[in-house]
Amino acid sequence: MFLSTLRHRAFAQPSQALWESAVLLLLSIIAFSLGLPGWIGWVLVAFSLAFLFAHLSGERSAPITNWLHGNIGLTAGWLRENLKLATVSALITVSGFLVLNYTNGLKQEIDLVRSASDAERSQNSEAIRNRDERIQNLLSATLNVPVLLSPQNARSRASVKHVVLQWASQLAYEHYLVEITRFDSFGKFTTKPIPATNPVQMSTLYPPGFTDSIGPGIYFWRVAAGDLDAGRASPQGSWSGYYRFDVFGSTIDRIHQNHRLTVGVTYNQNSDFMRRNEDGEPYGFDAELMGILSKKLGCDSDLNPNSSVWGQPLVIEYPSIDSLLRIGVLGGEVDLALSSVTKTLYRKNLGINFTQGYFDSHLVLLSRPSVGALAIRDAEVGAIEKTTNADAVKELCHARKCTPVPLKSFQDMLNALADGTVKFILVDEALSLQMIHHKQVRVVIHDVAKALPNYESLIGYPKEQYAIATPDEGLELKLTRILDDLQRDGTLQHLKEKYELAEGPPAKESY
């Protein structure tokens, strides 16, 4: 009966006691949330429960209700009169507390994130400092490591007695060690450190004795600052990396083992004799002639016993005619050189073998088509440096009182002529035939060499010709026979016409 009465009172219309219980409960929550002394909150909870009990008990709890009203009359009376206002105030207070609590929590999270970010930034700064220190230490150590220059890695030599090894270093040392490892044809190897013969110039001659000769084999070498101590290597710094070079007993031996030709070229003339096409491949008269020679030599049983195994030529580029002949041919790096090379007695006396000429050429003095006065005296005359043309222009300017201007390439000459840096250029007629035919330049003197006796003696032959240069006399004879055949069957003439290099009558001189 009592339980049914409680159930009925619980779901009945809210009484004043119930409202007072709710308000007191809210106040107790606020008291706990604001951190007030605990007893205040618990007193409010007790009064709230008492009013709740009064609501549930109805008339039976009248004595309790009257006692509560009597003991907390002022508070309860104010609550009865301002119940709605108290409720709203309580809700606002709770909401403010929740917002304040959320804001404090958000601030704490932001502080945590900021602290973590500062810690990470500090760690990154430390890591960066450590990295920079490692890089600085590495760079400092690198200053002591020589950089190998020549022979270039994986280059070969043939028919040479010595090899000059060259390197560079940021710091110069009084002594250098060169460690050389040689593998012979049987796979056996020997390693020996030697002191550099020319440490001031950072180079050494190998073998160091002038009467010694380098033997065939595969060589690996490296360099370090230091000297020998009781016959043992005592490096003062780090060793460089390794470079490799191969040595063959003769040019023919290299062709035998490689099953292809090694051909030296230069593109600095950028002409239709030899230049790069859009794909970066060799293009022009000499480039096509190189392919023809390679096919015919591949069928020569003396050079290639197994004609089924023959590769395309290995092309090595050099920056100039001078380096092509001095390093490529005389240094034994190539089997032949093919880049409109003029055949001269001076070069032959240096030890270069030349085939018969395959293209006749003349020296011509050119100017811009629109140039006015053609007086050579006191004018600037350009020519490619370190070539026979450079020797010719010196003699010409000595006789005509002009100024020789050395330029690095054929294109540099054309640019200098176009922008007025020079008034004239001295070039091979063969390299400028197309420009002459299309009237892009003006011929001032057609055959300059006739007026240059020293230059004619330098050439040493009845006429100027392009020829193939090779360090091997036997290979020169084979190449000459092939050129004879190509001349007879019209192949050379066909190439001249294909690249518009056919020689016509001399252009009319304007001088």
- How would you label 358-374 residue by residue, b for 16+ Cβ within 10 Å and e otherwise? bbebbbbbbbbeebeeb
Q: According to the model, what pLDDT value does residue 66 have?
A: 60
Mean pLDDT calculated for residue range 407-419: 90
The number of beta carbons lying within 10 Å of the beta carbon of residue 34 is 11
Q: According to the model, what pLDDT value does residue 74 have?
A: 46
Query: What is the residue type of 501?
Result: L
SS (H, E, C) 115-161: HHHHHHHHHHHHHHHHHHHHHHHHHHHHCCCCEEEECCCCEEEECCC
205-215 tens-digit pLDDT: 999 988 889 99
Cα–Cα dist 93/141, whole Å = 71
> Among 191, 199, 198, which residue's Cα sits nearest to residue 225?
199
Cα–Cα dist 257/428, whole Å = 37
Mean pLDDT calculated for residue range 404-409: 92
Length of the chain: 511
Between the ranges 71-75, 109-113, 164-168, where is the mean pLDDT highest?
164-168
335-356 tens-digit pLDDT: 999 999 999 999 999 999 999 9
Classify residue 339 by its DSSP letter: S
Burial of 40 (0-12, 13-18, 19+ CB in 10 A): middle
Name the strand (E) or helix (H) holding 432. Answer: helix 429-437
319-324 contacts at long range (C-beta below 8 A, 24 or more positions apart): 319/266, 319/268, 320/266, 320/268, 320/384, 320/385, 320/386, 320/387, 320/408, 321/266, 321/268, 321/384, 321/386, 321/387, 322/386, 322/387, 323/266, 324/264, 324/265, 324/266
Contact, 406 vs 390, CB < 8 A? yes
Q: According to the model, what pLDDT value does residue 7 have?
A: 47
The domain made up of 258-361+464-511 is a member of CATH 3.40.630.30: no
Third-level CATH fold of 147-249 = Immunoglobulin-like (2.60.40)
Q: Of 89-98, 117-126, 251-260, 275-284, which range is least confident?
A: 89-98
CA distances (Å), origin 310, targets 81, 146, 358, 436, 478: 116, 38, 25, 41, 17
Radius of gyration of the chain (CA): 49
CA distances (Å), origin 372, targets 229, 364, 368, 381: 72, 18, 9, 16
**Percent of the chain with pLDDT strictly greater than 90:** 46
Q: According to the model, what pLDDT value does residue 323 have?
A: 93
- Which CATH architecture group holds 362-462? 3-Layer(aba) Sandwich (3.40)
Q: Which tokens is 291 given?
A: 């392919």
pLDDT over 80 at 118, yes or no: no
Name the strand (E) or helix (H) holding 76. Answer: helix 73-81
272-322 tens-digit pLDDT: 899 998 888 899 999 999 999 999 999 998 898 887 789 999 999 999 999
- Beta-ladder partners of 364: 427
Mean pLDDT taken over the chain: 82
Cα–Cα dist 221/295, whole Å = 35
Mean pLDDT calculated for residue range 232-236: 85
User: What sign results for the dihedral spanned by CA atoms 348, 353, 355, 359?
Assistant: negative
pLDDT over 50 at 14, yes or no: yes
Residues of the chain with CATH 3.40.190.10: 258-361+464-511, 362-462
Q: At residue 77, what are phi and psi to the nearest 5 degrees?
A: -65, -45
Query: Whole-angstrom distance between the N-terminal and C-terminal Cα of the chain?
Result: 143
Query: Which residue has better confidence, 491 or 75?
Result: 491
Q: Which tokens is 278 given?
A: 């859009």
Q: Which tokens is 75 given?
A: 């508070």
Residues of the chain with CATH 2.60.40.10: 147-249
Q: Which tokens is 107 given?
A: 């601030």
The whole-model pTM stands at: 0.68
